[in-house]
Structure 1
């Protein structure tokens, strides 16, 4: 078994020549270009795909080569996957697979006679070998061609950095050098994943919410940080295409949550991180969060503040005009999101986040006397005390104090989710339910209060639009009062549940 460790980077078509002229590649050893033809196989039920297995035949030097790849580490364009290659003799042969669990699974599926072509890829590959310091080496492979499934096609245009010798951090170091002058962005999808998406037919981007990272009492501090960071990076990128498309507000919301959780992670691990690590990333994360936050505010204003009022008064022209003005501003905010995600700076941010997860200086944390349970316990207790202090000082007549409590609850909740496997299950879930309920009410109140400024911005000095704003405020007034009435009891309940 071999392990393929590579970093995939997307590159705009018009810059392929600029790539080959980059000093890093000019100084590297270029190998002869090749045309590669690949056919991917699966059962009619796509059982291999469901298992995270890719089965490929590649035409090479007049012969076919069989390759089996398994799901492995995949985040931020970086993948580390086991693979098995062997000549293809006219029938699929899995005897060389030395992973017992996979070998048993393949044997039980009785795949002989059930495998069929699903899609193919055809592309031209240019390859450079890059020698690095301390004996490290990697291949830079630029692929350009097509994924094909029947009459449907999808372009391939990506740079793969494949590790030959050394550590994965070298891949990000090279990517960072290239991205300093080229608009590269980590590509989270493999060619096989894109082929399966093509085979599934046209569809909207899939919303993605990543499951909780797997940590336990035996996970080292460095490994826990890496797992959570990669998990959040995958969540961020999984919602990127939908957020850029701008037709479904949920993608922007989930990208924003991923960014908040990333910032929360860096706050928790701040004392242990390399000095330049999180410090250089946090301002860039905040800037992206502001752009997404503006779009999210307009989404809430349109869908949760104005939409129910418009539904209640469908013939009111003042409300309809106000809704149109808000829709125009919402469209501009989403255009700003698409621009930010297409900006080269976003690609560099993703590369730097991936590089931090591979930073070997984090390994020093493994020898720290702080075992993960103790570190998590101290972090959670600090956030708990801060939240309870905010709760005790909260005043329903003071919107700023309620906002501070809402932020404290979010940060505590994210930390609980990070370290959930280290805590008693029932107690954790009960605490999360209490926090989520209170956060929901505080969030709804914040949205209602926060809507005043953009509504006034939409109305300007127009008397009819200002009347529409007043009508919307009156519509939501009872809901606003109900939240204010139940908040004191909910806050007291949180404080009392945490006593002792």
Structure 2
């Protein structure tokens, strides 16, 4: 399944861990690794190194070498649980031991870019030497009780072609083109990726270079590093859906800082759910991507007074395009969840009807257009021209505390939601949908800005809002399900009777939620706002 270079030494051998070398080298300092990973079709990989857009920025020829790396952990994966990876890499006749953090250092890292700590030490052989960790600041990352239980778990074996590009006098980027495989026991996954590592310069240069490469070779941002893929192979687990990160704004954040943080968070949320959505069309993965896209659209609209431009409008339109491509599959997924115990023939027909929209959704997510959207959004955000090149009065507003504007923005959204819900029990699906959309915008905005206020103040408001939204979402799903059932019954007479029974079931569910709506609405309406 994967490419393994001829002459591969084969699977890792079980061996002991050295604890005291004869002549230990000086303690290693932690390096900060900043990289953007791009995944591509293995058939396109050989073309990358020869692209003029890369070669024109290089002042030395590319270098190619084979890298074989063995990752170590305990049988119960103590290191992975701690978020670190211990590896020994062979390159030529030499060996390098490395300890790396597997996740970003902060939830405010640049969107799509991994920022990790890494320690490296030269080794005389292929056995880990944990005594090297002492004095480096990394000693506490591997618990004492785990050290004697470390074993080889999986191997990466690939050919790496490296080019060093200099887009400008202040930027150095190492471009690593990797072709090979990750092997854990009898499970293998192909490595076909390009890593852009920032050695000097601004993060935006990574996005600019990725966007330039994507114009010639289809690529998409990858969020799993080799260690994470290896551990997934070891456990046999599929990629899982990821919920939005908690917002991490501080009360002193400026408007520019808040905007950058919220959009970065939306991009990360989108990318984090792509692996499971693309792997098997996971319904929750697709749903979470739609949530991330909604949050991005609302953020761009909310901050529109200070970030408006032709670029912003185009980005909002492209986010809308991708969200629209995912919506039909989501409708069938919601209906499936409501048909527990329904006629088997109807359940099968719903699953079959979902297949086409699902394939369309997965195709849209994996398309060059979707990849360009994420790269373009990251480039625009990290370039910061929306701030640095804004008019003086706009720049002054962006440099003011976010809290100055958050309150008035939330008050306006709150007032619109209250007006939409003044009838308490909307008399039509249209009324309910209007209320749902307004409350959804308010809920996302409140979540964006909650960190500006004391947690104890924000929690009651958000806790009261959740059941209102859940009730309105249930009404929306029931209404959508009714339309989908009708479309099935119209196309297949044999489904009319079970579809009618299912429609009556949805009616009863909707009626229950409509009766519950006034109480949860009043509970939220009477809850004090947290922004003063």
Q: Tell me how far 1:160 sits from its aligned partner.
A: 0.8
Q: Which of 335, 341, 344 lines up with 1:301 in the alignment?
A: 335
Moved more, 15-24 or 3-12: 15-24
2:498 corresponds to 1:438: no
Q: What is the CA–CA distance in structure 1 between the aligned matches of 2:96 and 2:189, rounded to whole Å?
A: 24
Partner SS for 1:161: strand
What pairs up with 1:85-104 in 2 under 5 angstroms?
Answer: 85-89=120-124, 91-92=129-130, 93-95=132-134, 97=136, 99=137, 102-103=138-139
Structure 1 residues 197-216: aligned runs within 5 Å: 197-200=232-235, 202-216=236-250
1:143 to 170, 175, 178: 178
- Aligned residue number for residue 369 of structure 2: 345
1:370 Cα deviation from its structure 2 partner = 2.1
Q: Does 1:471 pair with 2:486? A: no
Following TM superposition, by how much is the alpha carbon of 1:58 offset from its aligned partner in structure 2, in angstroms?
2.0
What stretches of structure 2 of length at least 5 have no aligned partner?
A: 1-29, 389-394
Determine whether 1:428 maps to 2:458. Answer: yes
1:264 aligned onto 2:298: yes
Which among 258, 271, 288 is matched to residue 224 of structure 1? Answer: 258
Structure 2 counterparts to residues 105-144 of structure 1, below 5 A: 105-106=140-141, 109=144, 113-144=148-179
1:42 aligns with 2:57: no
1:414 to 2:444 alignment: yes
What is the SS of the residue equivalent to 1:460?
helix
Provide the secondary structure at the position in 2 that maps to 1:206: coil
Q: Aligned-pair distance for 1:108?
A: 5.9
| Offset at residue 170 of structure 1 (A) | 0.6
Q: Give how far 1:159 is off.
A: 0.4
**Contact 1:209–1:254 under 8 Å retained in 2:** yes
Does residue 69 in structure 1 map to residue 96 in structure 2? no
User: Which stretch of the first structure deviates more once superposed, 395-404 or 110-119?
Assistant: 110-119
> Which stretch has the larger CA shift, 390-399 or 203-212?
390-399
Aligned residue among 163, 182, 187 for 2:198: 163
Moved more, 291-300 or 423-432: 423-432
Q: CA deviation at 1:131?
A: 1.9
For residues 30-84 of structure 1, give each alpha carbon's deviation from its aligned partner in whole angstroms, at most 9, with x where no partner exists.
Answer: 3221111222223444333222222222223522222222243467541122222
Query: Which among 423, 427, 443 is matched to residue 397 of structure 1?
Result: 427
Match of 1:19 among 33, 44, 48: 48
3-state SS of 1:216 partner: coil
Partner of 2:276: 242
Q: 2: CA distance between counterparts of 1:272 and 1:26? A: 39
In the alignment, is the contact (CA less than 8 A) between 1:394 and 1:405 conserved in 2?
no
Displacement after TM superposition at 1:326 (Å)? 2.9
SS in 2 for 1:210: coil
Change (3 A) 1:465 1:223: same
Normalised TM-score (structure 2) = 0.83
* Residue 24 (structure 2) aligns with: none
Cα 1:194/1:462, change in 2 over 3 Å:
closer
Between the aligned partners of 2:72 and 2:386, the Cα distance in structure 1 is 40
Question: Aligned to 1:119, what secondary structure does the other structure show?
Answer: strand
Q: Is the 8 A contact 1:42 1:48 kept in 2?
A: yes
Is structure 2 residue 272 aligned with structure 1 residue 233? no
> Contact between 1:40 and 1:120, CA under 8 Å: does it hold in 2?
yes
Question: Residues of 1 paired with 2:463 and 2:196: CA distance?
Answer: 44
Partner of 2:17: none
Where does 1:320-335 land on structure 2 (aligned, <5 Å)? 320=345, 322-335=346-359
* 1:317 corresponding residue in structure 2: none
The answer on 1:6 being equivalent to 2:35 is: yes
- Worse-matched range after superposition: 471-480 or 144-153: 471-480
Number of the residue aligned with 1:194? 229
SS in 2 for 1:392: coil
Name the count of aligned residue pairs.
Answer: 485
Q: Contact conserved, 1:394 with 1:402, CA < 8 A, in 2?
A: no
CA separation in 2, counterparts of 1:75 and 1:432?
28
Shift of 1:117: 2.2
Normalising by structure 1, report the TM-score: 0.88
Unaligned ranges ≥5, structure 1: 315-319
Query: Structure 1 CA distance, aligned partners of 2:340 and 2:77?
Result: 42
Contact 1:406 1:439 (C-alpha < 8 Å) held by counterparts: yes
Shift of 1:124: 0.6
| Offset, 1:332 | 0.8
1:278 matched residue in structure 2: 312
Alpha-carbon spacing, 1:273–1:51, altered in 2? closer, same or farther (3 Å): farther
